[in-house]
Amino acid sequence: MQPIREPSASESYFWPSVWAVGLHVLIFGLLFVSFAMTPELPEARPIVQATLYQLKSKSQATTQTNQKLAGEAKKSAARQTEVEQMEQKKVEQEAVKAAEQKKADAAQKAEEQKAEEAKKADDAKKADDAKKAAEDAKKAEAKKADDAKKTAEEKQLADIAKKKAEDDAKKKAEEDAKRAAAEEAKKQAAEDAKKQAADDAKKKAAEDAKKKAAEDAKKKSAEDAKKKAQDAARKSAEDKKAQALADLLSDKPERQQALADERGDEVAGSFDDLIRSRAAEGWARPPSARKGMTVVLQINMLPDGTLTSVTVSKSSGDGPFDSSAVAAVKNIGRLTEMQGMKPSDFAPYRSFKMTFTPEDLAL
């Protein structure tokens, strides 16, 4: 069995040193590439990469030596890390400075562009104002010319209107004078006609009054004569009937019977005139009643002379006159003269018809 050879101190630190140098070169290369591709870098953190090799030590001296070498390597790595951090901070500061410069350049460029646009807008506004001023001046000139033309036309129209008004006033004055003369003539003719009409009316009224007075006097005289004759006839008939009834009621039964037989026909025949006379007393003549009208009434009566019903059997053709005749007969109420009549004499008056005319009811 061959004994194992322990490596020397130089052999023990060779490869770790090579690896450390290669790692640093790689880190610096990556940093430069990153800075070149990215303008603004995030805050970098220190990267420490170390490879720890545990060597088997056969002696305490070897172990101490290895520890010393490891400490030196650690210090070297720390210094290297500090240098890298400083470089990275410097790069970051330069990137920030470049970004700020770029931002300032962009702001300045924006200000310049804004100023240019403002200048362009101001120039455009000035051009518009100039154009508008020219247009306003042109419009003012056109308006001035139009006003002058309009003034001339208005003056011409005013002259025409003035002349027309003068002509119209002259014509109207002539027409008014003619109209006034015609109205005056018409008024005079109307007054003359009115005066003549008044005279004619006055004369006619006097003649009509005189004629009416003569007619009224003649009519009144005839009516008075007729009324006196009617009153005398009615009074004579009533006296005659009353006497006959008194004779019937005052004698003995034998005498009454004899007188009734003797005067029955006379008393019964006079009852029609009595009914007409009594009906005429309560008759109210309607305005429509005319001479020649005839109404037939159906009358029912009791033996004591009480009228039970009165109806129209045949109309005269005028309702108001028919109704007035019915009311006049009903107003009689009761004919006391019917009392004491023989049943044979009363029989025709139990239900009978009577004819009435305005002349009958105007007795």
For the chain, list the domains and their CATH numbers: 266-356 (3.30.1150.10)
pLDDT value for 36: 63
What pTM was estimated for this model as a whole? 0.31
Q: Output the tens digit of pLDDT for each of the chain's 363 residues.
A: 555 565 665 566 677 777 888 888 888 788 776 666 655 555 555 554 545 444 444 466 667 777 778 778 888 888 888 888 888 888 888 888 888 888 888 888 888 888 888 888 888 888 888 888 888 888 988 888 888 888 888 888 888 988 888 888 888 888 888 888 888 888 888 888 788 877 777 777 777 777 776 667 556 654 665 566 566 556 665 666 556 555 544 544 554 455 445 544 454 456 788 888 888 888 888 998 888 899 999 999 998 889 999 999 999 999 999 999 999 999 988 888 877 778 888 888 889 898 988 887 775
b vs e for 208-224, b when ≥16 Cβ sit within 10 Å of the residue's Cβ? Answer: eeeeeeeeeeeeeeeee
Predicted pLDDT at 330: 92
Q: How far apart are CA 10 and CA 17, in angstroms?
A: 10
pLDDT of residue 22: 85
Considering only CA atoms, which of 115, 49, 122, 43 is closest in space to residue 85?
Answer: 43
Q: What is the pLDDT at residue 298?
A: 94
pLDDT value, residue 220: 65
